[in-house]
Amino acid sequence: MRIAYAASEVAEGFDRARSEAKSSFGDDRVFIEKFITDPRHVEIQVLGDKHGNVIHLGERECSIQRRNQKVIEEAPSPLLDPETRALMGAQAVALAKAVGYDSAGTVEFVAGQDKSFYFLEMNTRLQVEHPVTELVTGIDLVEQMIRVAAGERLAIRQEDVELKGWAVESRIYAEDPFRNFLPSIGRLVRYRPPAETSAAGVTVRNDTGVYEGGEISLHYDPMIAKLVTHARTRDAAIEAQSDALDAFVIDGVQHNIPFLAALMQHPRWRAGQLSTGFIAEEYPEGFHASLPEAAVAGRLALVAAAIDHVGNARKRRIGGQMEGRKVTFDQRRVVRLDDLEYRVWTHESPEALEVSFLSDDGMAQEPHEVRSAWAPGIPVWCGTIDGVAATVQVRPVPNGFVLGHRGAIVTAHVYTEAEAAAARLMPEKKSSDSGKRVLCPMPGLVVSIAVSEGQDVKAGETLAIVEAMKMENILRAERDGVVKKIHAKPGETLAVDAVILEFA
């Protein structure tokens, strides 16, 4: 593909495209298409019967994509107005009628930021993202497909279709967002999706085909589930999605929930300023865990203090303790969230746990009321902070716990002031360097080894190809060197971080 930015570039680009196509495929025919700068992916859901009736059910925005694979979908689109929706819908219906289409189908468009739109393709099937349309229209697409297949006429007219509220869908994938979204396989040691509800104007729906104890295989698509929320407004649907992601517990495989949760807080996403290049533009170096914003960090510090308080309360009730001086727990604590540190004061009242942040001079500020029925071993802390509901994921680690909330992931330690002073003096552990070894970045099948022992290689040369979940990954040399030993062979299935080869 070549882009012509000026009329003078058209002829040369056309000739080069023809030459390359002829050389590569033996066919020099060329399509000329309008290039859309900063495009969006918007699609129209159509529904037809065997009697020539076709209607559309509004649009879906699918612009949040990675490697041309949709990640987030929503309905309706924050781009379209009623006039553009009607025009786009009319063209989709005309296309379906022109080919005599029946059943559910999706007509996809590339849209410009100026609301211009251009036909892309038609998918003659049920789309992965169909739940967002079902939630905003109240129409069960699978039911309609069955009725149409049985020869029934559509009982729904175009004027009956009304879009109510907003729906957002997140695709939960078995992939590691901290390792450039490489696929992850293994057993679902724990799989606890959020409760499906439809109350107080908010709907939470989880479409899945996996179960706790099941295995995620390298032979299939990495999708684990589709998490969908619906509410009266887009902001409310996003908030509901954020809460649901915080409550979604998966252990045993790596997954993209931390990335999805962080994306839900991204100001550009919140503003609806989308394009198919969103992820590449906003995360050019990949996704990395970052320190939480002040409001989120403060919330996590309060939850950490509350979790520590529960643990201390349990210790007080341990039976068979030695007689002597009664053990008391200092109400002053130091909460460390990675590199952030908070001094707090805790007090248990009959109604709730009160946690106050301490100022630099040691004075307690206005207390926060923290309420929860959480107990050690429960993977999700659910409760309220000053009357506002909060959901935080909790994973125990030595002498602390990892907390996840709104896309932020931090390791929390709660100390007495004396313990905190000692902890500040402890040297940091350095992560081990793989040195001259090339490790398998994910569980996968070795497709090929491109080098041999004793071979000189240059930086950037292909070393091996590993396949997992329908995707081939090329491993290249990071620097010049000589291959000392090859540990893997084509056709072998490797675990993550298995040694493929090493350099001298």
DSSP sequence for 483-500: EEEE---TT-EE-TT-EE
Are residues 459 and 340 part of one domain? no
Query: What mean pLDDT is predicted for residues 260-269?
Result: 96
- Asked, for residue 288, whether it belongs to a domain, the answer is no
Residue 414 shares a structural domain with residue 464: no
Is residue 428 included in any domain, yes or no?
no
Determine the pLDDT at residue 158. Answer: 97
Within 8 A by CB and 6+ apart from 302, the residues are 344, 355, 368, 370, 385
pLDDT class for 435, splitting at 50, 70, 90? low
Domain that holds residue 397: 294-316+327-423
Q: Which tokens in the block code for residue 353?
A: 């746990």
Q: Which of 393, 423, 453 is at the close of a domain?
A: 423
Residue % of the chain over a pLDDT of 70: 98
State the average pLDDT over residues 187-199.
94
Specify if 143 maps to a domain: yes
Give the list of residues 6+ apart from residue 426 with CB closer than 8 angstroms, or none: none
Catalytic residue check, 121? yes
Phi-psi region of 203 (alpha: psi -120 to 50; beta: other; left: phi over 0): beta
Task: Please give the Cα distance from 269 to 215 (Å, whole number).
Answer: 33
Residue 321 lies in a domain: no
Question: According to the model, what pLDDT value does residue 430 have?
Answer: 64
152 and 115, same structural domain? yes
Instruction: Assess if residue 53 is contained within a domain.
Output: yes
Residue 356 in domain: yes
CATH number for the domain that contains residue 310: 3.30.700.30
In a domain, 429, yes or no: no
Position 316 scores a pLDDT of: 76
Which one-letter amino acid corresponds to residue 153? Answer: R
For the segment 131-173, what is each residue's pLDDT rounded down to a tens digit?
A: 999 999 999 999 999 999 999 999 999 999 999 999 999 999 9
- Taking the C-alpha atoms of residue 304 and residue 411, their distance in angstroms, rounded to an integer, is 10
> Which CATH number fits the domain that encloses residue 444?
2.40.50.100
pLDDT tens-digit profile of 67-116?
888 999 999 999 999 999 999 999 999 999 999 999 999 999 999 999 99
Mean pLDDT of all residues belonging to the chain:
92
Whole-prediction pTM: 0.84
- Specify the DSSP class assigned to residue 7: G
The residue among 368, 395, 423 that closes a domain is 423
Please tell me whether the peptide bond between 78 and the residue prior to it is cis, using omega within 30 degrees of 0: no
Mode of pairing for the β-strands spanning 190-192 and 166-173? unpaired
pLDDT of 432 reads 55
Q: Quick one: 69 and 182 in the same domain?
A: yes
5 Cβ neighbours under 8 A, 6+ residues apart:
none
Residues 195, 174 share a domain:
yes
Q: Which of 386, 401, 423 is the last residue of a domain?
A: 423
More confident residue, 180 or 409: 409
CB-based contacts of 370-374 (< 8 A; 24+ apart in sequence): 370/302, 370/303, 370/305, 370/306, 372/306, 374/306, 374/307, 374/310
Considering the domain architecture, whether residues 85 and 196 belong to the same structural domain is answered as yes
Do 28 and 44 share a domain, yes or no?
no
Residues 6+ apart with CB under 8 A from 186: 215, 216, 252, 253, 443
In terms of domains, do 252 and 131 share one? yes
Q: Do 193 and 50 fall into the same domain? A: yes
For residue 158 the two structure tokens come to 């175009």
Q: Are residues 305 and 390 in the same domain?
A: yes
User: Could you tell me if 55 and 1 lie in one domain?
Assistant: no
Of 9, 12, 121, 348, the active-site residue reads 121
221 within a domain of the structure (yes/no): yes
Amino acid making up residue 76: P
Tokens at 462, concatenated: 């292909």
Assign 424 to helix, strand or coil. Answer: coil
What total number of domains does the chain contain?
Answer: 4
What DSSP assignment string belongs to 211-224?
A: -TT-EE-TTS--EE
Give the 3-state secondary structure of residue 31: coil
| 291 against 374, higher pLDDT | 374
Q: Where are the beta strands (DSSP E) in 232-364?
A: 249-251, 332-337, 340-348, 353-357
- With contact defined as beta carbons under 8 Å apart, do 287 and 407 qualify? no
User: Are 9 and 66 in a shared domain?
Assistant: no
